[in-house]
């Protein structure tokens, strides 16, 4: 007996989508492998160095913030595998890349709860090929740890007929995420809606009203609190004997006050869509996946699929969160990308019901090709090596100062040495400017920083700036640290030797300094020859030596004696940190 044409078409459709799904999953694996190549080429962002600096801070047994630093225990092996800080970040990226693959797998598993065929495998492919994920997925940040933990909790809470065990395990994942970063709180609306809308196994028909969802909420909350407290308490014990002369901002104030101040700056003050321009840029570059996410949310709302609609709330931080920068899209897009599957499933069903035979297959193929084109075409732009100049600079610092010293920079770029100044993010500089209190001279006297890396405009500017240092600090650094090699300035001072008037040189702190001069010079009444090293405690007077009077004013420089000669090669001229 001949089978109905619709049945034959359905079998062929499933067979077609099966092959397409296999190709898509192979494509996902290929993208992860491609990202493996990029780990040694993509520019190390400033907060990756900052993330690494806490690992070294803990290994030096120095004071560190209690919150958002528990992750350091997972990476204490980094100094053993990396010759310098860039190598260590690359090694850490390997781990984070594995977590990116895990995140993509969890997206697939979550999609498979709702859809089958190509609609189930398209979301992880879209996630991996979206530009912010291609650029920042697998980076050495808390976001790379947060994404798989958030997806684990989402998968457990979204499972139809979830059990008490799901609630407890989801709470545990949320608690671990909270120990890594407080950013997990930004996804509370999404998780809360999932808890309230997805029915438990013994309440599939919703007979118990709100009682069971409330019990689920209590279970998830209790498990999250217990897990977070255990991890943070264990971390607190491990760093309780730490020692350092300068306490960080977090230790110098109560945790409650710190949390309130953080929330005020990052959530309540910025206004609506503080970083909305990034969404506009990405939607312009890759309109198809963003269109599918939006359509998935709209159709979920129309069909009253609140469990799917909840996933759209993962993008909610864009509306209010000050730090919704491109790297945070790695987390937000993980749940939201599942909505791509809902769009594909919904439109495919409509096309199949209204169109001719094989219309659905043609639509699916065209859509797959469109997603591949918009996803893979921009991938080549990341092959440009923007990391080699950072390697040269880090290697140059270690060549000039082979032994650990204190220093000043934006983010802890030389993480194995001690950064002496505050974290110079935009937020950090804003708070520093708000106090109106100069700090650099006190830092120099206390920590004796040997060098400055000009890896932020505030440290490089030679003129007053609204976004730079306070004028007193700017002048102090300009006078007390002179350019040595590339973006590296070394502690010391400069003066002008002239026959018609005495000169002087100020140094930032007492130490041994090397005199760099083309001729012998008299310093505080003592003749010093080029390259001579002597102890300096403060301002010194300089004057010519008889028989060596210069015909015109001559520059004299005192350089910290511990600084070795600069590398012989030309320093890199590229920007240290490329744009987000």
More confident residue, 328 or 238: 328
Mean local confidence (pLDDT), 366-372: 95
- Given the DSSP bridges, would you call strands 418-419 and 406-408 parallel, antiparallel or unpaired? parallel
Task: Please provide the average confidence, as pLDDT, over all residues in the chain.
Answer: 89
Name which of 133, 131, 135, 136 is nearest 107 in CA terms: 133
Does one domain contain both 66 and 134?
Answer: yes
* Residues 6+ positions from 352 with CB-CB distance below 8 Å: 13, 359, 360
Among 452, 549, 550, 542, residue whose Cα is nearest residue 495: 542
d(CA 349, CA 366): 15
Could you tell me if residue 568 is inside a domain?
no
pLDDT in tens, 148-170: 999 999 999 999 888 899 999 99
Query: Considering the domain boundaries, does residue 295 fall inside one?
Result: yes
Q: Which has more confidence, 394 or 550?
A: 394
What is the helix (H) or strand (E) element at residue 540, kind and residue range? strand 540-544
Q: Are residues 216 and 277 in the same domain?
A: yes
User: How many Cβ atoms are within 10 Å of 564's Cβ, its own excluded?
Assistant: 11
55 in Cβ contact with 75 (< 8 Å): yes
Is 575 within the bounds of a domain?
Answer: no
pTM tops 0.75? yes
Q: What is the per-residue pLDDT across 451-503, written as a single tens digit (0 to 9) for each? A: 999 999 999 878 888 778 999 999 999 999 999 999 999 999 999 888 877 88
pLDDT score recorded for residue 250: 37
What percentage of the chain reaches a pLDDT higher than 70? 91
The per-residue pLDDT for 467 is 79
- Calculate mean pLDDT across residues 188-214: 77
Phi and psi at 9, nearest 5°, equal: -60, -40
Domain that holds residue 426: 389-560
Per-residue pLDDT, 246? 37
pLDDT at residue 97 is higher than 60: yes
Pick from 73-82, 206-215, 319-328: least confident:
206-215
468 and 438 within one domain: yes
How many structural domains comprise the chain? 2
Residues 196 and 130 in one domain: yes
Question: The dihedral of CA 228, 230, 231, 236: what is its sign?
Answer: positive
Identify whether 449 is part of a domain. Answer: yes
Same domain, 349 and 482: no
Local structure of 345: helix, strand or coil: helix
Burial level of 302, CB count in 10 A (0-12/13-18/19+)? exposed
pLDDT category at 256 given cuts 50, 70, 90 is low
What per-residue confidence (pLDDT) applies to 261?
Answer: 56
pLDDT at position 247 is: 37
pLDDT, residue 10, reads: 66
What does the alpha-carbon distance between residue 164 and residue 183 come to, in Å, rounded to a whole number?
25
Encoded tokens for 424: 């110079």
Is 189 within a domain? yes
Q: Stretch 565-569: mean pLDDT, rounded?
A: 95
If you average pLDDT over residues 401-406, what whole number do you get?
A: 96
Q: In this structure, are 395 and 366 located in the same domain? A: no
């Amino acid at each position: 007996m001949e089978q109905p044409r619709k049945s034959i078409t359905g079998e062929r459709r499933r067979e077609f989508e099966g092959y397409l799904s296999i190709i898509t999953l192979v494509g996902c694996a290929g993208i992860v492998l491609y990202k493996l190549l990029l780990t040694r080429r993509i520019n190390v962002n400033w907060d990756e160095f900052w993330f690494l600096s806490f690992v070294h801070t803990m290994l030096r047994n120095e004071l560190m913030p209690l919150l958002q630093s528990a992750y350091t225990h997972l990476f204490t092996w980094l100094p053993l595998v990396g010759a310098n800080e860039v190598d260590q970040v690359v090694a850490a990226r390997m781990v984070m890349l594995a977590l990116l693959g895990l995140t993509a797998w969890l997206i697939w598993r979550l999609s498979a709860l709702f859809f089958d065929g190509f609609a189930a495998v398209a979301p992880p492919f879209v996630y991996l090929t979206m530009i912010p994920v291609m650029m920042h997925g697998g980076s050495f940040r808390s976001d790379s740890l947060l994404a798989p933990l958030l997806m684990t909790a989402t998968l457990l809470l979204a499972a139809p007929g979830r059990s008490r065990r799901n609630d407890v395990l989801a709470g545990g994942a949320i608690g671990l995420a909270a120990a890594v970063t407080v950013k997990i709180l930004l996804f509370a609306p999404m998780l809360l809606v999932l808890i309230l809308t997805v029915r438990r196994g013994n309440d599939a028909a919703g007979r118990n009203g709100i009682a069971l969802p409330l019990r689920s909420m209590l279970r998830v909350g209790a498990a999250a609190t217990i897990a977070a407290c255990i991890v943070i308490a264990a971390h607190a014990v491990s760093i309780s004997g730490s020692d350092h002369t300068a306490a960080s901002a977090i230790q110098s104030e109560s945790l409650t006050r710190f949390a309130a101040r953080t929330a005020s700056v990052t959530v309540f003050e910025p206004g609506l869509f503080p970083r909305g321009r990034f969404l506009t840029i990405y939607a312009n570059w890759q309109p198809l996946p963003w269109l599918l996410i939006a359509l998935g949310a709209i159709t979920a709302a129309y069909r009253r699929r609140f469990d799917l609609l909840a996933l759209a709330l993962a993008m909610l931080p864009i509306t209010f969160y000050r730090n919704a920068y491109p790297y945070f899209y790695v987390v937000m897009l993980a749940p939201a990308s599942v909505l791509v599957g809902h769009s594909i499933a919904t439109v495919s069903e409509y096309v199949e019901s209204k169109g001719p035979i094989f219309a659905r297959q043609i639509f699916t193929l065209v859509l797959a090709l469109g997603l591949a084109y918009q996803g893979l075409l921009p991938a080549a732009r990341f092959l440009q090596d923007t990391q080699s100049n950072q390697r040269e600079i880090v290697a140059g610092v270690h060549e000039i100062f082979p032994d650990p010293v204190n220093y000043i920079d934006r983010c802890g770029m030389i993480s194995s040495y001690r950064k002496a100044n505050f974290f110079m993010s935009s937020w950090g500089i804003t708070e520093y400017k708000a106090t109106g209190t100069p700090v650099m001279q006190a830092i120099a006297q206390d920590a004796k920083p040997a060098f400055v890396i000009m890896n932020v405009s505030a440290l490089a500017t030679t003129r007053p700036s609204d976004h730079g240092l306070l004028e007193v600090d700017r002048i102090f650094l300009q006078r007390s640290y002179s350019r040595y090699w590339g973006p590296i300035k070394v502690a010391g001072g400069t003066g002008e030797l002239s026959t018609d008037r005495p000169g002087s040189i100020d140094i930032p702190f007492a130490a041994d300094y090397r005199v760099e001069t083309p001729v012998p010079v008299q310093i505080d009444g003592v003749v010093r020859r080029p390259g001579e090293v002597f102890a300096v405690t403060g301002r010194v007077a300089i004057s010519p030596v008889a028989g060596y009077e210069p015909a015109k004013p001559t520059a004299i420089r005192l350089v910290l004696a511990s600084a070795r000669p600069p590398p012989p090669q030309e320093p890199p001229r590229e920007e240290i940190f490329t744009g987000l």
